[in-house]
Structure 1
């Protein structure tokens, strides 16, 4: 069993147990705030089940129908989880708003407070565990599930504080008010998760990865690498793809071009950057490149070297060679 599968099974099992515990707390107390937490736990279980399937699917090898693998399903999983959180938050807001106008009695809040406090602590531990594994395995699904559990932890803390205030003040409507506030926070969390997953599905650029790649290339640049541009990144679950254009001396033969491109691939994958599959297009140099080319022994140089162009993310993502005056 892979590390990712083990992590999601732990998450799903814990979510089921905690969901049952929270509903027990609700039936004991009749508290809307506790019902809010219990309802979110249903989302945890549903999302965890879907996440388990997406983890299973994303680890399947590439095939003829999926030449880039099945990793994109993790973004879809995170999107579904975000939508479920949004729906749960909206339902909680409406339900609690009604009870804010028409309050009902609550009881045994001490027992309910203890149960919610314990479940919140467990969710925090499991959430941090999932985020840690997700970052190591580059799994969007695990990170999304972990952040969801941390959201659940924050709501549990807020509910515990609210329940304590109710016991101290005996103001019953505080229960529904607290539930409404927590509902808005849940909606906001669902929006953030949905927004991130949509960005992944639409191949939104990972600027952190771009910065890592550009930093390595700039620090270890070779003289024949005259220019790098049109650098783009994509993520397919745990797999990363990078493509770019590299300007090389036009008189290099195919073996030399292949050697330089292979060195770029090896450099990126051995210097702390996440493992990635690279597609590199080689461009021949032009006379306009001479004034920033480091090839001092070049026999066809048309112009003396003037100044090196420092590669930055803002420069290398542009789809053009960098001999424009504004870049010098």
Structure 2
């Protein structure tokens, strides 16, 4: 199965998994009456909506380039990631509100054993699915899939915190531990939401690829630019799974167009083979345009 089909299929199944997890958490809240479990269930609603947004964004992002979008639709995934980050923040604020109300109106939990068991099952399922999404998203260079996985992972942290808080509340009889744990978890969710939005905004702003990848690009260019004098002004940017690479290649002034074109083809092929999603633009220049001396290796 191609990476594109894998990403699309996983994004669709995220909606299904999210609905199942939400149903389990809603059942746990209904059985116990816990405000923390209610807040945990409310976050799962956000998961379902966010997964739907990710599925739609991925379908758009993998649409081939057209006349109005000659560089493709890759950035659609960043829009989904931003939306997910915002929804995480909204979920955290809802949790804080419910927790604050519970401080003033504490109440004993009903059927806590069954409710916590159901929540634990939901958390384990969420955790497994989150790992699958993040690993596949990184290998396929899909920001939307990675963001969806991170979103689910924050939900796992939420569930773990809620379970720990409720167990402690049951052991001590301190009912205020239920909303207190919800507040602590909400603060953690806010941090993850901010990080997700920040990373996605950087992608929308045409951030350069990370330094390690830039070094790999330079290595590949040097290894495949025999007969060229140097390359300079390397610029990169990332947009979803795509990596846009642009630089100037200086060749001897008496080199034929055909020969310089062959060198460019060799470099482009090497970059596209070793860096998935590479989009390469090379500006060929004569010898008097050299800036750095021999920059081939």
Q: TM-score, normalised by structure 1?
A: 0.83
Larger % of helix: which? Answer: 2
Paired position in structure 2 for 1:146: 149
SS at match of 1:241: strand
How far apart in 2 are the matches of 1:183 and 1:266? 48
1:118, distance to aligned residue in structure 2 (A)? 0.6
Q: Distance in 2 between matches of 1:231 and 1:26?
A: 55
Bigger Rg, structure 1 or 2: 1
Which consecutive residues of structure 1, in runs of 5 or more, have no partner in the other structure? Answer: 294-308, 312-328
Which deviates more, 119-128 or 226-235?
A: 226-235
Superposed, 1:10-49 pairs within 5 Å as: 10-49=13-52
- CA change 1:98–1:106 in 2 (3 A) is same
Distance 1:7 1:259 in 2: 40
Q: 2:217 aligns with which of 203, 213, 219?
A: 213
TM-aligned CA deviation for residue 235 of structure 1? 2.9
Contact 1:25-1:112 within 8 A present in 2 as well: yes
Say which is worse superposed, 170-179 or 146-155, in terms of deviation. Answer: 146-155
Match of 2:245 in 1: 242
Note if contact 1:69-1:236 (Cα within 8 Å) is conserved in structure 2: no
- CA shift at 1:129, angstroms? 1.0
In structure 2, distance between residues paired with 1:24 and 1:163: 16
More deviation, 246-255/63-72? 246-255
Distance (whole Å) between structure 1 residues aligned to residue 272 and residue 112 of structure 2: 55
Task: Give the structure 2 partner of residue 263 of structure 1.
Answer: 266
- Offset, 1:177: 0.2
**Which secondary structure state, in structure 1, belongs to the residue aligned with residue 234 of structure 2?**
strand
- 3-state DSSP of counterpart to 2:281: strand
Aligned twin of 1:302 = none
User: How large is the RMSD of aligned CA atoms in angstroms?
Assistant: 2.0
CA-CA distance at 1:133 after TM superposition = 1.7
Distance 1:277 1:176, change over 3 A: same
Cα distance change of structure 1 residues 48 and 254 upon mapping to structure 2, 3 Å threshold: same
Matched with 1:58 is 61
Cross-structure match for 1:323: none
Q: Is 1:202 matched up with 2:208?
A: no
Question: Which residue in 2 is equivalent to 1:155?
Answer: 158
Matches within 5 A, 1:300-311: none
What TM-score, normalized by structure 2, do the two folds share? 0.92
1: CA distance, partners of 2:232 / 2:86: 37
